[in-house]
Structure 1
């Protein structure tokens, strides 16, 4: 019976594969290199170019040998040639667009009269990461090996260095360096031990160890827009008879926003394994896949789902486990996606099972739902680089690429000379500084009551950079160990702001006035100049610099530098073209934001706050979350600003931070106000006020309104509890908001505004609910528009592409397995804070 079902499935797959078209994604960087070959090679529908003929590729080596073998025993054309190195060698790739790239390596020990490649020791590193370390084919249960990595390239070049060891040689048959969409891998996932958000994936490297097409045939580069390989899951099933294959035509797959054929091909979502009428004694069993893994690493697990088996909504609810840990509880796909046959995926971080060198993934029926079924469409398991930036062993790039003795001597001379020069400059600078201090002590500045910032005094050395052509003054940059950003001279600030021209005034906040400035290189910046008569002073100034110098995230402002010359306190940020969120809600004559824009802005701000609470070594509480501190760049990407009142969160053995109450009235957590006990849930309350402000487009406090309407949190909650939030929302949104999206948004805000912090969700949960509200809105909009997935499919695929490809997959400890990118995000724009008049603090 099982064989009949499988044959029927393959025939069905063939019938739709030959009719589908290839979804287009054009990678900016697309290196397909046949190493040692003298001619182009076609492999899996792609053309590989010889490494000696590529114009944007530089091969650096003292000696190399070309090996070739056209024997029928060579499995595929890419393995017919190899380049052998007897000493360290490098391939330097010019990178057109920074970001995540696939790095794929092909190895096959081609017969060569001079060297036995089966005993060659292979070590491969990039600029930052160790990919392979002392690998040899001697104990490898396979004829050839394919490796796939995901590397975040942050410079204009990528260097792959191959290192022979133990008097051996090193070789490679083929190399791919190919761009991938920046949003394919986001910065966050859910860690399972313990269950909490995991941030920082953007700075890590991955190695693909398994990629499965559940219930479907093998797919290779001809069937995947990103050139990935998906193998069938059958050999990893714990009990083969526990599943039933399900398949539909891929044309029925409806990609929502945020999911595309680059996430996974539609024929991955068009096939699935389900419990079905499985031949087992219990109906409440789990379908389990088991994978051998290296227990010394953590793994990124991406599970792909698509309800292609149900005939009605809300008829499939199930759980997912990784090892024995719950990953997803009561997953109702149609409730999340709003429809059937809509792809959905989730990312998790986990380790191997504690009692074996395996990692298991299971799906099974929800224990409280009267539904005995579960499904999965695809699964990706990727090894995560360790603290040494290695994906193979405990060696770092630095330990594998030691400097030669002559090079070390040269470096020693250069370092010694540099230290001497720096010392001399520092001495001159110290004398100059003493003169300035003495001069200032004799002629104090009028109108400035602040003392110079003590943070950057005796403990820090500053080095000179080039002289300003306009001002003739030196710009200084803090030494790397302090990492506090650029030091601007006061003259540079005057030049940038045209002597604080009032025409360049952007706004006024609790700290001082904010001006638009232009640096000498044409870069627009926001310059926040402290007011000596402000209630905020040196403590807030120091906190702002200290916090932002340690934080980098796409949804947090990015500090460029500061100036504390002439008793000034000035902060310089990158310019945010669209200013504060508040000005787009009310108080300014700007076009109203759409509901989707508002949700995306709230999601961005929530991501920034979530990073503060969980992404740093110790949590950070913002303490002044409000619409004037959420700023928008030219693409309306939201960034959280103004860290002058921020506090480090409680230690592990504490529940709160006891501190004086600071913040803005209308946004203050009532529990914090009463008890002076600050937690990250205080930010959650303030963010709940922001959500209601976004929906209703009115201030948090408006004393001219009737008493029951003065406080937006109290007023909006009375309508939310009646289920009538639509009666008070912005009139520009009437008729344009999905009821389901509004309901989820209101429920999220209500939870944020709970009286007691323990009853409020974490920012991670808030973020998840807002993304859900956005998905509900987009799904509702999509249902009113005709679907066209014609660009998502490949046409003309021959049956031969579905033939077994088991020998091409890589090995994990001798077991066959398929192997293979913000900054989330590097920080981009960032800015000033409090650009409108309310002081609030």
Structure 2
């Protein structure tokens, strides 16, 4: 007996430890009991078990109603499906809806499952899917024909403010629609706050509870995939590895989940303990400067704002106050000098912070970074979890610009007509009175002496900076609508009505593209001149400063290979820029993503040469150089003759003075094109543009995006991937497939690859100048044209220059790279219009 007691005493501490772990696990995963918990297997004849939960058939209708069931069919599949929830579907030939009784108002998950059953008797792969709630558009005209996955899962967060919630499925384009599974589940009110911090301009955003959200990314940094079985709110957390910008920059950290210390303000409903028990920490990127950032890149729809939640938990420190770091979203500092010990008072204690942001500048990505706070002299940074959710737009939609009213069939709208007509009649007299008073005011003001409009700050954009006021007296032009600002040398000042007329009131059919600043429309002025009109978006990260920079930069620059600014408009708190119209649009559109014809190798060389000339002029054409800072294929535009012109100078900076080597500035630009040295050190030079141009060269060669997270890990970043192939001598293996089999001079391709490789050197000091890059590209074109001259002797086109001697030239002989037309005193590039005419300089070099 004494022996047994001794054994019991020896194992007692271990038993207590196990009980403590079990207690902690129970506390971490204490089941949240939702008041509403609808799990529906649509079209299924029986219950379906999926991810540890039971989904009931939609034919069993107790607390919800399926309207339109008579116009629907249930389908099941005997073939293999991605998951059990996709074994059946409810197919609708006409508009139908599920109406749920809501016991507790507040935030609810709405989760939808779609998989086009192959043996359903319908061609569901071509079916269009439109889903709306009472107030919001969730999906609009989705089809699997243009989708790169076999199934679709959508998760939304909707604040239900009545005792019912209706999900309506609308067939479009005379096709059927369908759904495989539905979840409508209550969530705690604390999960999504009403307020979050807008990053640019920094200000609180109120009213999130009136908006719907869609989950686009939810990541468990450094940890495994978590399913609803691991999460009290049934969420899915995926691993972050494929979104890392540089894989070697981060290392995984893992501790026992039972060690996580939740607080009253952060419970397991915010995130499960497995999220806080794993993290990505700073790794070894094999660079001398250890003050680098760990960065993740996410593709998003640039037309929406995003709710972003960062999860932190110090599981790497041995003692308190041993970790201080910064967090960034896009180019903005989200949290400066984050000291988790001070905020939580303990190690292994969760903390999170919410933000609202757009996509990154003129791009369709969001970037999240963590890095050391250099002021704290502590090297280290972590991130445990990340959530990115799309916010519904002004049309109360999460998919496009069409509202619920615009999608409902006419019969569904009739019941609302009486209310609308009554409200209209009730306000008609008031509107008439206001209109009458307004007209009187306009008549009165038109009789007063017109004063020149000053350049006012734009309060709509919340920017504290103000534009330089125009002090000159405005004079009416011959048209009576244009105000001359010749003395201010800022270009033509357009009235807002002129812009409205030119763009047919910003007709969406004239939309040319969408960037970080706003939308770009094609316009036609009164004299028939075609223009491109860029209208600032008040939600854009780019604001008044970029607006001013663009005008001031382009008003001083005139060059054949720079897009010309015609004028601007700042009336009615608008920020509008008017440029020359580039008929063939951005270079990217001719490389991938569209049905436009493929460019020949010679065309690609000439386009790269044109862009290089524009950048070379920026770097050398004035007393102080100009650094573009956002060189990429969407900012290289092509006119009707495929002449390349560099565009978008909103981020441009004046280069360093003669006694300086760099400009210290916050990192801005587009991920995938950013100079890694600039990104690490925040020191900008002309060589930063050279690096970005090197990425453009590889993009031109391979016809693929600079960043493509859908590709295998080693191929995501085109610069890294193409450089690895170039060093192996296998660059010809990754060129655009449309060029394979075409006659391309091998020496020309080799020279192009070598030039791109030099541009992409890790350190700026090892990169060539834009003048050297230009020379090398011209030499590559010379090699190509000489080859064409030998194979096509009867070609008499203007671009065909026979008889150029193939004398080996030093590619870095600066005497051979002197290009006419870069003096600051000239207004334009005096070179011949035929691109290849520059080779006269190679045959007989001369100084300027």
Report the TM-score range of the alignment, normalised by the length of the smaller protein.
0.3 to 0.5
TM-score by length of 1: 0.47
TM-score by length of 2: 0.47
